Amino acid sequence: MYAKSRQISHHHNDDKIFSSCALFGMINLTGVRFTSREPLRAISSMRERGNGLGGGFAIYGIYPDLKDLYAFHAMYMNLKSKERAEKILMRDFRILLSEEIPTKGSNKLPNPPIFWRYFLEPEPSKIKDEYVDSDEYVVKRVRKINIGVKGAYIISSGKNMGVFKGIGFPEDIADFFYLDEYEGYMWVCHARFPTNTPGWWGGAHPFNILDWSVAHNGELSSYGVNRRYLEMQGYKCTMWTDTEVLAYAFDLLARRHRIPIKLIAKILAPPYWEEIDSMEIKERLMFTALRKVYGSLMMNGPFSIIVAHHGEMIGLTDRKKLRPLTAGIKGDFLYISSEEAAIRLISPKLDKIIRPSGGEMIIGRIKSPQSLEVPPLIRREHI
Amino acid sequence: MRTYLLPEYIVERDDLKCTRCKICIEQCTYGVHYYNAAKNIIESRSERCVNCLRCVLFCPVNAITVRRNLNAYRENYHWTYEFIASIKRQAELGSALLSGMGCDRPYLTFWDKLLLNACQVTNPPIDPIREPIEIRTYLGRKPKILEFKTGDGDIELETKIAPDLCAETPILFAAMSYGAVNLNVHEALARAAVECGTYFNCGEGGLHPNLYKYSEHIIVQVASGRFGVDLKYLNAGAAIEIKIGQGAKPGIGGHLPGEKVSKDIAAVRMIPAGTDALSPAPHHDIYSIEDLRQLIYALKEATEYTKPVAVKIAAVHNSAAIASGIARAGADIIVLDGVRGATGAAPKIIRDNVGIPIELAIASVDQRLREEGIRNEVSLIASGGIRNSADVVKAIALGADAVYIGTAALIAMGCTLCQRCYTGKCSWGIATTDPEISKRLNPEDAYKRVVNLVRAWNIEIKEMLGAMGMDSIESLRGNREQLRGVGLTDRELKILGVKMAGE
């Protein structure tokens, strides 16, 4: 016998959940924080795209007073799972604040799980023994809880940001979590239309790991291979969604392999061989290598995504653009949305509207939050 | 000794139609038909007929029918015709029975128990006539990770990719040696490989000087006999394949009888004409995995690390562990040849009883390499009994990068699977080196048929990919979500890593 070092999904029960969705993202490129009013109006306007079986928000810049600590948002299906997860948290982290996330009882959202948040840092003595950086340390624990503790899910684990999500229309979710009391400089919103009913709380978007969040609309035919590739790299997919696969792909490529962000777009939605073959030699070799080495991470099938991490919001569609995505700029704001109408609703007079073609990435980036001197950087990436 | 064997086939002739043109006599290489001048009729010695159907197809008036002999032994579930006839033949010959082509026993063919997926509603199928669907396949070693240098907005690739093969289709032509088949077959396959943008494996018998001009599309093979191997040969190929074993005869060497070793074949194989060409069962410099590593690197050294090196093994019980060892020994490509893999000559008992189905071998090798985290660093070619484009798609979904086809390419040229390749009398001019019979295979015609076959399969592969909502073959590789099993046991589904239809 040999020792298995990885769990590669292999048989019977690796089902996945299909869904279709609405996306809306909004970032202030100078880092000024704003309330839920506009993003919520925009995402709610695309009601046709959701069916009330999933809504969620990733908000960046919400915990400025505790911005150096990891903010864990945990979702517990029962008290027992909370107990078991907290045992791991208390052992491996120094927890500086632990509190229930304020929620509102509502008839619209029956049987919600328990939501808790923790502000914490890795236990110094333990991290020293492991020879890993704190991000890797955190990812390991999040994975351990999400896989190993039944009914416990760390739904966000970045610093100075948080994910709020559940079963319901986005406006119900916002109401449930009192989101009108939070402010952030970037909001990524999602409304879900899962084709298998009923959806479950953990399956709602955005999906998050560290400060990377992904909201996604689409269905990947390549899910089977994307997932098996990521499992080979040590990830374990627990949520059965394409979105989770996308989040791990970003984590692997951006954080662990340090691939430049605009090349990540070319891995997920690569140019056709015909285009690559007609490139200059250096580019041709680079793009050929990307497809050879990371071909298993090509996201094949219709998708549009908004990916966010601190200071950056990215919009991308599949290379055939089988799902809609539009971006708009007004002053210091960049909007990325499934529908132009949602942008126009909150900002009727845009400076610029961008309709990216398939596989073309929209990046909105701020150099340093709260700093007005730095000019905002908005690019359409053409390679 | 008088034979007690029943004729397997009966040749019938419609004498009213027969014009006595004698084409059947000319065409039959087994001496079945002869002209009886006294009666002015053509008669047949049915006991010699192998059912190759050459005479049937070439009779200008369709006067000939070959059918199974209706005389049979008393019905017996246990002692079938096959077993009784084999015993009688061995009782007369006192030797192991030879056979050609692949195992024909009724073991389960898993391809027929696997069904493919298609998109409905939640994502759109893609129409290959209107949208590009890509089936280009790179074969060779890949790094785990790519590293880039980022300057001021400029991104440069720092990682160097090892030399590899670029095939415009996931279909390659399997190894068939010069000697087992003739030069016309080699030429047809080499030209087809060029035209299809794929590769032709020249097998273990060396490469004829006339074919060096196609070398960019040729994989040269190094087997235990080392026939025709010199520096020029190694450098001629786009890749080198070390043949450890073959699906039709795992653990068995090769034997090309002296009668087939003509002057030309002798020269290419670098042996004296008329002598038997014997490939030992093992490579006598490879008795362990570390020895294999030495040969891999000896070949890489000899070719200055300009070509990928493949290692071909027969699919056997512990293929997964062996494949993992091969990957770690430095091979860039692993070739798995399943129990249905064909041959020019093999002991029938071995062909029919040794090895495992390729479907299970692909599944377990791919799974093991993934569990060990090295699947993406090597390429996997599946071979042995690939019958149509759906088999190709299913093989890739199970985890192969590409497939080799051998039998299918020969069938395209004319082969009718009569399984008498070892006699050297192939009436279709394929598995023969007889200069007269070889002429029957026109390389121009044969190459066109093979090209057409690959073109047709490419179209079908794109149709299937498009239906599954994929526009590139790399999204299919190892994507077992796209497969469902029917009529398989839980255990079989588990090994294949595939869900039951309806799940």
Confidence band for A89, pLDDT divided at 50, 70 and 90? very high
Domain membership of residue A196 as a residue range: 19-62+160-218+302-381
Q: How many domains does chain A have?
A: 1
Check if A237 is active-site.
Answer: no
A268 at B interface, C-beta within 8 A: no
Helical pair B358-371 and B319-328, crossing angle rounded to 10 deg: 50
Confidence band for A377, pLDDT divided at 50, 70 and 90? very low
CATH number, domain of B286, equals: 3.20.20.70
Nearest CA in chain A to B138: A292
- Mean pLDDT (whole number) for A178-206: 83
Residue A320 lies in a domain: yes
pLDDT of residue A132: 82
- Are B253 and B393 found together in one domain? yes
- Proportion of chain B above pLDDT 90, given as a percent: 94
pLDDT of residue A255: 85
| Chain A residues 303-362 within an 8 A CB cutoff of chain B | 319-320, 322
- Are B76 and B188 found together in one domain? no
CB contact set of A87 (below 8 Å; sequence gap of 6+) = none
Q: How many domains does chain B have?
A: 2
CATH number, domain of B55, equals: 3.30.70.20
- Are B89 and B211 found together in one domain? no
- Are B63 and B192 found together in one domain? no
CATH number, domain of A37, equals: 3.60.20.10
Q: Which of B181, B343, B195 lies closest to B268, judged by CA?
A: B181
CB contact set of B419 (below 8 Å; sequence gap of 6+) = B50, B99, B100, B101, B104
pLDDT at A374 over 70: no
pLDDT at A239 over 70: no
- Mean pLDDT (whole number) for B305-317: 97
What is the distance in angstroms between the Cα of A243 and the nearest Cα belonging to chain B?
Answer: 15
pLDDT of residue A367: 60
Q: How many CB atoms lie within 10 A of CB A346?
A: 20
Residue B188 lies in a domain: yes
Out of B70, B95, B120, a domain closes at B95
Q: pLDDT, tens digit, for every residue of B161-218?
A: 999 999 999 999 999 999 999 999 999 999 999 999 999 999 999 999 999 999 999 9
pLDDT of residue A1: 46
- Are B207 and B292 found together in one domain? yes
pTM of the model: 0.91
Q: Do A6 and B478 touch (CB under 8 A)?
A: no
Residue B249 lies in a domain: yes
Classify strands A212-218 and A303-309 as parallel, antiparallel or unpaired.
antiparallel
Q: How far apart are CA B241 and CA B222, in angstroms?
A: 6
Nearest CA in chain B to A295: B474
Domain membership of residue B43 as a residue range: 9-95
Residue A375 lies in a domain: yes
DSSP tag of A131:
T
Residue A359 lies in a domain: yes
Q: How far apart are CA B346 and CA B98, in angstroms?
A: 5
Q: Do A320 and B498 touch (CB under 8 A)?
A: no
Burial class of residue A375 (count of CB atoms within 10 Å of its CB; 0-12, 13-18, 19+) = exposed
Q: DSSP string covering B392-434, please?
A: HHHHHHHT-SEEEESHHHHHHHT----S-GGGT--TTSSS---
Q: How far apart are CA A217 and CA A43, in angstroms?
A: 13
Classify strands A377-381 and A352-354 as parallel, antiparallel or unpaired.
unpaired
Q: Which secondary structure element, helix H or strand E, spans residue A85, and what is its range?
A: helix A79-92
CB contact set of B79 (below 8 Å; sequence gap of 6+) = B73
**Range in A233-247, B61-75, B113-127 with the lowest mean pLDDT:** A233-247
Residue A280 lies in a domain: no
- Mean pLDDT (whole number) for A84-97: 95
Nearest CA in chain A to B483: A224
Which structure tokens are listed for B224? 């235990």
Residue A270 lies in a domain: no
Residue A279 lies in a domain: no
Residue A27 lies in a domain: yes
Out of B95, B113, B134, a domain closes at B95
Q: pLDDT, tens digit, for every residue of A24-43?
A: 999 999 999 999 999 999 99
Residue A336 lies in a domain: yes
| Chain A residues 138-197 within an 8 A CB cutoff of chain B | 195
Confidence band for B455, pLDDT divided at 50, 70 and 90? very high
Q: Collect all residues of chain B within an 8 Å Cβ-Cβ radius of residue A231.
A: 370
pLDDT of residue A12: 39
Q: Which of B343, B159, B173, B328 lies closest to B249, judged by CA?
A: B343
Residue B332 lies in a domain: yes
Residue B319 lies in a domain: yes
pLDDT of residue A6: 66
pLDDT of residue B145: 94
Q: How far apart are CA B473 and CA B468, in angstroms?
A: 11
Residue B121 lies in a domain: no
pLDDT at A376 over 70: no
Out of B95, B130, B151, a domain closes at B95
Q: Do A6 and B370 touch (CB under 8 A)?
A: yes
pLDDT of residue A105: 79
- Are B91 and B179 found together in one domain? no
pLDDT at A326 over 60: yes
Residue B141 lies in a domain: no
Q: Do B475 and A225 touch (CB under 8 A)?
A: yes
Helical pair A223-232 and B358-371, crossing angle rounded to 10 deg: 50
- Are B262 and B366 found together in one domain? yes
Cα B461 to the center of its chain, rounded Å: 19
Which structure tokens are listed for A172? 């119900």
C-alpha distances out from residue A33 to A27, A59, A205, B290, Å: 9, 10, 22, 63
Q: DSSP string covering B35-59, please?
A: EETTTTEEEE-GGG-----HHHHH-
- Mean pLDDT (whole number) for A226-251: 84
- Are B186 and B66 found together in one domain? no
Q: Which of A167, A170, A138 lies closest to A154, judged by CA?
A: A138
Name which of B127, B139, B145, B368 to mutate to probe chain A: the one with the most chain A Cβ atoms within 10 A of its Cβ. Answer: B145
Confidence band for B142, pLDDT divided at 50, 70 and 90? very high
Mean pLDDT taken over chain A: 86
C-alpha distances out from residue B415 to A53, A247, B259, B441, Å: 59, 52, 22, 10
Q: Which long-range contacts (CB under 8 A, 24 or more apart) does A271-278 make?
A: A271/A319, A271/A359, A271/A383, A272/A319, A272/B132, A272/B134, A273/B134, A273/B136, A274/B132
Residue B103 lies in a domain: no
Residue B380 lies in a domain: yes
